[in-house]
């Protein structure tokens, strides 16, 4: 007889409002223990310095983590001018200083240079792997980390508050964007040096203040109340993809890993009603039966292939 998995089956998302001073892994561990969940993961690391939305996936929701990672995120951050730190944030030690302070007009003038697709070099203290080792582990041991620049996408970048020594910004950006690198590079473009003094992730796609819960609030609820209050449906993060309704037989075939072929006119009308654009190449959709997600599928022509079967 095989060993049973430890913990309870819990399926869904929690938009956790992570506090400052805790790693994402520590927050994940507290949620796992409190909910006694079998399977758990998160959709994007937050530094200990940062607070805000940490998307936590439980059970079958872990199969949808790539979809939350593709959503744009909103960050509010404070850049402090005059010091550069080895971590590019408040936690590091000072490695350079400058007496120059940018004016508000100076800052507003460079913002267009940091929107759209830009090249960005990640911080040395990042989770990127170099020869199998995390960059931050190499940096903490005194080693030099050389990370290649990469293309990231910043849709909007706005100056929210200004003083001579620091400025508050709001950025709406895509995955892989390092806000610490953004503040560092903006400072250099302004003829000074700088680092992140405060950082908050305000939303990740459909997860934000309207459906978030603080860690303290979650831990103060008993198990059943926590699930009732904080647990969001698995499909919450899939709001940007078409939902295709199936009948019972079609749902059973997908759950068994079998392909479907929609060749009749009513089938084509169902695809059209779901918002699937026929003839535009492969498209991802959420297959649903009686309101319950069945699988993430790839639709190409008349063929529907299961990509991730959801056991809900």
Q: Is 47 a catalytic residue?
A: yes
Encoded tokens for 197: 């003094």
* Residue from 17, 47, 88, 203 carrying the catalytic annotation: 47
Place of tokens 């899939």: 238
Q: CA–CA separation, 226 vs 103, rounded Å? A: 47
- φ/ψ region of 291 (left if φ > 0, alpha if ψ in -120 to 50, else beta) reads left
Q: CA–CA separation, 297 vs 46, rounded Å? A: 30
Q: CA–CA separation, 109 vs 107, rounded Å? A: 5
Task: List Cα–Cα distances, 306 to 129, 256, 284, 296, in angstroms.
Answer: 31, 9, 10, 6
Handedness of CA 81, 84, 88, 93 (dihedral sign): negative
Catalytic residues, by residue number, are 47
């Amino acid at each position: 007889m095989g060993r049973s998995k430890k913990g309870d089956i819990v399926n869904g998302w929690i938009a956790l409002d992570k506090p400052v001073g805790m790693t994402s892994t520590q927050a994940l561990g507290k949620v796992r223990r409190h909910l006694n969940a079998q399977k758990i993961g998160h959709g994007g690391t937050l530094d200990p310095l940062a607070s805000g939305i940490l998307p936590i996936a439980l059970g079958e929701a872990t199969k949808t983590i790539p979809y939350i990672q593709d959503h744009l995120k909103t960050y509010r951050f404070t850049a402090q001018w005059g010091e550069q730190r080895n971590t590019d944030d408040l936690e590091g030690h000072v490695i350079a200083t400058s007496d120059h302070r940018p004016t508000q007009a100076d800052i507003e003038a460079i913002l267009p240079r940091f929107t759209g697709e830009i090249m960005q070099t990640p911080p040395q203290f990042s989770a990127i792997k170099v020869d199998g080792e995390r960059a931050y582990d190499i940096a903490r041991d005194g080693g030099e980390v050389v990370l290649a620049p990469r293309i990231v996408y910043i849709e909007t970048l706005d100056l929210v508050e200004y003083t001579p020594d620091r400025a508050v910004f709001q950025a709406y950006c895509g995955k892989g964007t390092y806000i610490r690198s953004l503040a560092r590079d903006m400072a250099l473009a302004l003829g000074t040096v700088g680092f992140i003094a405060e950082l908050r992730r305000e939303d990740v796609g459909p997860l934000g203040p309207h459906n978030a819960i603080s860690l303290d609030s979650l831990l103060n609820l008993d198990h059943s109340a926590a699930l009732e209050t904080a647990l969001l449906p698995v499909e919450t993060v899939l709001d940007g993809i078409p939902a295709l309704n199936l009948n019972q037989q079609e749902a059973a075939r997908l759950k068994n890993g079998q392909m479907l072929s929609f060749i009749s006119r009513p089938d084509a009308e169902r695809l059209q009603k779901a918002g699937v654009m026929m003839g535009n190449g492969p498209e991802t959709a959420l297959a649903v039966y009686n309101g319950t997600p069945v699988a993430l599928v790839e639709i190409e022509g008349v063929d529907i292939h299961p990509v991730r079967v959801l056991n809900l």
